[in-house]
């Protein structure tokens, strides 16, 4: 059975490139680079660029494959991403308490990542053994063949597909834009306000930021397996409301490095901040999964895979745009802009 032609090449090459990058990273972590910091920096930056390019291709392809299946399985891909984040957060907390050095912890991280990638490589080629996937793959092949007979030589109408799926593509983009605008750049720079808070300074960011986000986003994604509310045409409203998280996080005890904050801290209760963080993460996982699930449904069945890839591209665009937007917040808190409103 043909698993997708070009999709197979994308999966194989992207995983192999990621594995090679991790091998280089482990070697760099093991050797003494103190005598060539410039070369080390640019080598690291190059591997980061290559790794993220390969990861983007891999992620886009996986979403395209998932679009062949019933729509809830697209949400399962988002769930898998959040599970991996939760796993990484737990490993980070454990290693910070028990690892002998940061270098040792980093080496273990990247070796673990290589094993996970090799597992992904094996499971992809095990898909033909899965009757459920094989059934839906054959259905999709029949749809494509009948469509090709009806439209000999015609290319997929990409612009039409994009316009039909645009409402859900916007939802996916905006969810990740808001999420990445505050996490991790702002989120991880929020400091403990109460010295008697249940979580100490050494674990405050690890638990209240990284573990909380990944765990709650995972639970939000998981909920879409049973609940799909609101309907596609109404999803945009709660997605837009999530923009409120930007000022809410800025009003917390956000203390960016080497910046003198002038904007008053309006939310100085750690429990309130933690509650906001939980809601932000949960809605990120829930609404992003819904958007990814609804996008392939908004077009004709034979174009579902293309719509799924468009959604994955909007996901990555939202992440990129959100990260860029987060760079302005250290400048924002240097001014008490609320005084200008009086």
pLDDT digits (tens, 9 = 90+) for 104-145: 777 777 888 888 888 988 888 888 788 888 888 788 777 767
pLDDT averaged over every residue in the chain: 88
Looking at the predicted structure, is the pLDDT value of residue 89 above 80? yes
Which tens digits make up the pLDDT trace of 210-265? 999 999 999 999 999 899 999 999 999 999 999 999 999 999 999 998 889 999 99
- Cα separation, 91 vs 194, whole angstroms: 26
Nearest partner of 67 among 302, 224, 286, 317, judged by Cα:
302
User: Where does the pLDDT of residue 152 fall: very low under 50, low under 70, confident under 90, or very high at 90 and above?
Assistant: low
Which range has the worst mean pLDDT, 65-74, 158-167, 218-227, 308-317? 65-74
* Residue 148 confidence (pLDDT): 62
What letter does residue 155 receive in the DSSP assignment?
Answer: P
- Predicted pLDDT at 6: 65
Does 318 have pLDDT greater than 60?
yes
Burial class (CB in 10 A: 0-12, 13-18, 19+), 37: exposed
pTM of the model: 0.84
321 with 177: CB under 8 angstroms? Answer: yes
pLDDT at 3 over 50: no
- Res. 78: pLDDT tops 90: no
In the predicted model, what is the mean pLDDT of residues 286-314?
90
Give the pLDDT confidence score for residue 96 in this predicted structure.
Answer: 74
Please identify which residue in the block is written with the tokens 């300074």.
Answer: 201
Both tokens of 56, joined, read 């983007």
DSSP letter string, 111-162: HHHHHHHHHHHHHHHTGGG-HHHHHHHHHHHHHHHHHHHHTTTPPP-HHHHH
If you search the block for the tokens 């990284």, which residue do you land on?
A: 210
Residue 289 CB contacts under 8 Å (≥ 6 apart), including other chains? 74, 75, 78, 79, 220, 221, 224
Residue 265 region by backbone torsions, left for phi larger than 0, else alpha for psi between -120 and 50, else beta = beta
In this structure, what are the phi and psi dihedrals at residue 5, rounded to the nearest 5 degrees?
A: 60, -110
Length of the chain: 342
In the predicted model, is pLDDT for residue 301 greater than 90?
no
DSSP 230: S
Q: Rounded distance, CA 251 to CA 58, Å? A: 37
Pair 315, 176: CB distance under 8 Å: yes
53: which 2 tokens? 């390019």
In this prediction, residue 33 carries a pLDDT of 80
Cβ atoms of 295 and 165 closer than 8 Å: yes
Residue 130: other Cβ atoms inside 10 A: 12
Q: Is the pLDDT reported for residue 168 higher than 80?
A: yes
**Dist CA 180 CA 187 (whole Å):** 10
- Please give the share of the chain, as a percent, with pLDDT higher than 70: 93
The per-residue pLDDT for 57 is: 86
The candidate with the shortest Cα–Cα distance to 308, out of 130, 33, 74, is 74
Q: What is the pLDDT of residues 4-49, one digit of tens each?
A: 446 778 888 999 999 999 899 888 888 888 788 888 889 989 998 9
What pLDDT, on the 0 to 100 scale, is given for residue 1? 41
Other Cβ atoms less than 10 A from the Cβ of 314: the count is 26
The rounded distance, in Å, linking the Cα atoms of 332 and 262 is 9
Among the ranges given (128-137, 193-202, 275-284, 292-301), the one the predictor scored with the smallest mean pLDDT: 128-137
Flag the least confident range among 9-23, 28-42, 167-181, 311-325.
28-42
| Bridge partner residues of 254 (DSSP) | 190
């Amino acid at each position: 059975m043909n698993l997708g032609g070009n999709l197979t090449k994308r999966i194989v090459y992207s995983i192999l490139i990621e594995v090679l990058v991790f091998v280089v990273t482990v070697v760099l972590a093991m050797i003494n680079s103190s005598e060539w910091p410039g070369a080390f920096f640019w080598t690291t930056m190059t591997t980061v660029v290559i790794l993220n390019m390969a990861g983007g291709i891999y992620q886009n392809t996986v979403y395209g494959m998932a679009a062949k299946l019933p729509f809830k399985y697209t949400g399962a891909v988002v769930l898998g991403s959040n599970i991996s984040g939760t796993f990484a957060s737990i490993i980070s907390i454990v290693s910070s308490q028990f690892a002998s050095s940061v270098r040792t912890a980093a080496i273990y991280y990247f070796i673990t990542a290589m094993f996970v990638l090799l597992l992904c490589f094996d499971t992809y080629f095990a898909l033909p053994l899965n009757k459920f996937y094989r059934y839906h793959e054959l259905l999709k092949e029949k749809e494509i063949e009948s469509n090709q007979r009806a439209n000999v030589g015609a290319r997929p109408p990409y612009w039409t597909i994009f316009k039909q799926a645009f409402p859900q593509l916007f939802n996916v983009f905006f969810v990740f834009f808001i999420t990445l605008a505050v996490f991790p750049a702002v989120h991880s720079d929020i400091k403990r306000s109460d010295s008697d808070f249940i979580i100490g300074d050494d674990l405050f960011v690890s638990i209240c930021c990284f573990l909380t986000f990944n765990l709650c986003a995972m639970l939000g994604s998981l909920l879409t397996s049973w609940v799909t509310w609101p309907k596609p045409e109404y999803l945009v409203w709660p997605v837009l409301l999530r923009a409120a998280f930007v000022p809410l996080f800025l009003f917390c005890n956000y203390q960016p490095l080497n910046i003198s904050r002038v904007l008053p801290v309006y939310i100085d209760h750690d429990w309130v901040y933690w509650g906001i963080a939980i809601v932000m993460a949960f809605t990120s996982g829930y609404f992003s999964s819904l958007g990814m699930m609804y996008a392939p449904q908004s077009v004709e069945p034979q174009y579902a895979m293309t719509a799924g890839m468009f959604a994955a591209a909007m996901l990555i665009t939202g992440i990129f745009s959100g990260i860029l937007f987060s760079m302005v917040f250290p400048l924002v808190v240097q001014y008490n802009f609320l005084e200008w409103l009086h």
